[in-house]
């Protein structure tokens, strides 16, 4: 059988009529219904109607505000509302717009059942209260007032006085006088100082020497310190010396700032800068080391609990002196440029050095420049203590006072100030005034070397501390 070839001949399709084209639906506009999945409009399909008519939400919100206003008006006029008023006055927007609520939030009424029933002024409650009050006036009190013990009464009175005192505290403007007027000191040279380099000025016999006759490291008795009051007399303030006290003269002493950019005599420091007089508590960072030494012997000598004192210190603000030496505040440096140097990602320190000559060189240390330049920190170059010139043991003629810092950063007999881009590397800044882990038992090991140079081991901010100066029966 002979195979025949099939030939397909396509006719020309006439196409859609103009009417068909105009009536064709907009296939890209409708919902792509897939139950359980979001469509292109980010919603779950299933409703046969389109979105809410324009302005629907505005009408609902407006109606809710009207009903809520009616609820507030009724509350202000009548002084009470019931549950029906509350339910009708509050709209549950959680049902209207659940997508604008955090997951899991519920709609709750803005009141409690107890408030509706018992905390509003209902007429029935007033009648009951009037009846109860009448019955109580006819009866004698069933319970007498519980009497307090003498200790409780004294404690309550102390709380009242303390509350009244604190509520009346004002802002210290730095112009106050020290309330401590007991600044009398012995004029006789202590016998323990007769054959020491410090035999040229008197010291108080009320201080207990902790390291022999020289150098002086001494503290007052706790009872004497407590009895003196909140402001410590100068002669009772603890003393921490590393060597002999330098013999400095007011007339000759010069303060060098930033390597000669500014040199100040004591008269210039007093006359050219505004003086601030504020109470500052200073404590040695070794205070109460004696208690630690009873548990495990440390390298430091045995301080008791008296290595702290709060006196009025008067002097010029360090910030003002640094600005006078054209040292710019880092917070004011434009575009990260401080004194012509790019400071981005760079820290600076202000260094202090005393005039005392010690076995390991000058006593020097440093604090962050940002802290020193902060007007709220009140870092002082002090030349008075309790409204009198500094005693020799406390830094005459000028010393650093850093409120909130340990005494080891408050350099005495101040001679030099300068700014650097690294911490001070002097012996006493590196190897003194630090707290190390207990496993470091010597200063020669690698752990000791790393930790003594680590910034986190340095003692700066003063820790909160408290001690009972004396115990009594009762």
Q: Where are the domains positioned within the chain?
A: 56-124, 243-457
pLDDT above 80 for 15: no
pLDDT at position 45 over 80: no
* Per-residue confidence band for 460, with pLDDT thresholds at 50, 70 and 90: confident
Residue carrying structure tokens 């084209």: 21
Mean pLDDT of 189-215: 92
Comparing 275-284, 420-429, 440-449, the range with the smallest average pLDDT is: 440-449
Strands (E), 284-429: 308-317, 337-338, 341-342, 349-358, 361-368, 380-385, 388-389, 399-401, 414-420
Stretch 257-280: mean pLDDT: 96
* Per-residue model confidence (pLDDT) at position 92: 80
- pLDDT at position 137: 54
Give the CA distances from residue 41 to residues 32, 54, 103, 218, in Å, rounded to whole numbers and listed in that order: 9, 17, 21, 81
Pick from 30-34, 96-100, 428-432: least confident:
30-34
The residue among 113 and 133 whose pLDDT is bigger is 113
- Over the chain, what is the mean pLDDT? 84
Number of other CB atoms surrounding residue 265 within 10 Å: 16
pLDDT for residue 201: 92
pLDDT number for residue 35: 58
Task: Give residue for tokens 């009398």.
Answer: 184
Per residue in 209-231, pLDDT (tens digit) is: 999 999 999 999 999 999 999 99
The CA distance from 313 to 401, in Å, is 8
pLDDT surpasses 80 at 271: yes
Matching CATH number, 243-457, of 1.10.3720.10, 3.90.420.10, 3.40.50.300, 3.40.50.720: 3.90.420.10
Percent of the chain with pLDDT over 90: 45
In this prediction, residue 178 carries a pLDDT of 93
**Is the model's pLDDT at 340 over the cut of 70?**
no
Quote the pLDDT of residue 48: 47
Two tokens, residue 324? 């006078």
Residue 40 has pLDDT above 80, yes or no: no
Q: State percent of the chain over pLDDT 70.
A: 84
The pLDDT score that the predictor gives to residue 138 is 56
Copy the structure tokens of residue 274: 């505004």
Positions marked catalytic: 284, 432-433
Give the Cα separation of 203 and 378 in Å (integer): 29
Radius of gyration of the chain (CA): 40
Q: Pick the residue with more confidence: 286 or 145? A: 286
For the cut 60, the answer to whether the pLDDT of residue 143 exceeds it is no
Q: Is the pLDDT of residue 319 over 90?
A: yes
Over residues 343-358, the pLDDT tens digits come to 556 889 999 999 999 9
Mean pLDDT of 203-214: 92
pLDDT at 409 over 60: yes
The more confident residue out of 387 and 47 is 387
- List CB contacts of 5: < 8 A, sequence separation 6 or more: none
* 174: its two tokens: 């730095």
Q: How far apart are CA 27 and CA 269, in angstroms?
A: 88
Confidence of residue 469 (pLDDT cuts 50, 70, 90): confident
Whether the per-residue pLDDT at 50 is higher than 50: the answer is: no
Residue that wins the pLDDT comparison between 51 and 203:
203
Judged on CB neighbours under 10 Å (0-12, 13-18, 19+), 4 is exposed
Of 398, 422, 395, 396, whose CA–CA distance to 321 is shortest? 398
In this predicted structure, the answer to whether residue 107 has a pLDDT above a threshold of 70 is yes
Q: What is the pLDDT of residue 219?
A: 95
How do strand 414-420 and strand 254-257 relate by DSSP bridges?
parallel
- Which has more pLDDT, 286 or 239? 239
Q: Whole-model pTM? A: 0.67
């Amino acid at each position: 059988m002979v195979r025949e070839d099939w030939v397909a001949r396509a006719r020309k399709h006439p196409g859609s009529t103009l009417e068909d084209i105009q009536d064709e639906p907009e296939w890209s506009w409708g919902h792509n219904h897939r139950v359980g999945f979001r469509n292109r409009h980010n919603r779950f399909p299933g409703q046969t109607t389109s979105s809410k008519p324009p302005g629907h939400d505005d009408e609902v919100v407006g109606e809710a505000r009207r009903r809520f206003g009616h609820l507030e008006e009724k509350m202000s006029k009548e002084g009470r509302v019931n549950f029906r008023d509350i339910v009708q006055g509050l709209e549950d927007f959680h049902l209207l717009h659940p997508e604008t609520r955090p997951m899991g939030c519920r709609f709750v009424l803005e009141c409690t059942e107890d408030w509706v029933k018992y905390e509003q002024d209902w007429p029935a409650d007033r009648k009951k209260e009037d009846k109860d009050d009448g019955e109580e006036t006819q009866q004698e009190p069933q319970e007498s007032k519980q009497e307090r013990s003498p200790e409780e009464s004294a404690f309550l009175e102390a709380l009242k006085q303390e509350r009244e005192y604190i509520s009346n505290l004002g802002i210290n403007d730095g112009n106050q006088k020290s309330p401590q007027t007991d600044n009398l000191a012995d004029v006789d040279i202590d016998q323990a100082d007769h054959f020491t380099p410090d035999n040229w000025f008197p010291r108080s016999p009320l201080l207990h020497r902790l390291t022999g006759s020289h150098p002086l490291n001494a503290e007052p008795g706790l009872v004497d310190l407590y009895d003196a009051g909140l402001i410590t007399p100068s002669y009772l303030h603890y003393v921490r010396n590393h060597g002999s006290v330098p013999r400095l003269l007011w007339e000759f002493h010069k303060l060098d700032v930033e390597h000669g950019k500014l040199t100040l005599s004591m008269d210039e420091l007093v006359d050219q800068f505004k003086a601030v007089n504020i109470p500052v508590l200073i404590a040695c960072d070794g205070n109460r080391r004696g208690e630690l030494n009873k548990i495990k012997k440390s390298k430091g000598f045995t301080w008791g609990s008296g290595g702290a004192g709060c006196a009025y210190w008067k002097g010029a603000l360090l910030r003002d002196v640094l600005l006078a030496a054209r040292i710019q505040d880092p917070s004011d440096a434009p575009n990260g440029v401080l004194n012509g140097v790019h400071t981005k990602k760079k820290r600076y320190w202000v260094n202090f050095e005393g005039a005392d000559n010690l076995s390991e060189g000058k006593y020097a240390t440093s604090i962050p420049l940002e802290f020193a330049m902060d007007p709220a920190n009140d870092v002082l170059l002090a030349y008075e203590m309790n409204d009198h010139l500094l005693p020799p043991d406390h830094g005459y003629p000028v010393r650093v006072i850093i409120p909130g810092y340990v005494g080891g950063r408050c350099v005495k007999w101040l001679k030099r100030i300068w700014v650097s881009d690294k911490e001070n590397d002097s012996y006493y800044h590196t190897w003194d005034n630090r707290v190390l882990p207990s496993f470091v038992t010597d200063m020669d090991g690698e752990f000791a070397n790393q930790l003594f140079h680590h910034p986190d081991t340095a003692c700066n901010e003063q820790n909160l501390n408290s001690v009972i100066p004396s115990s009594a029966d009762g």
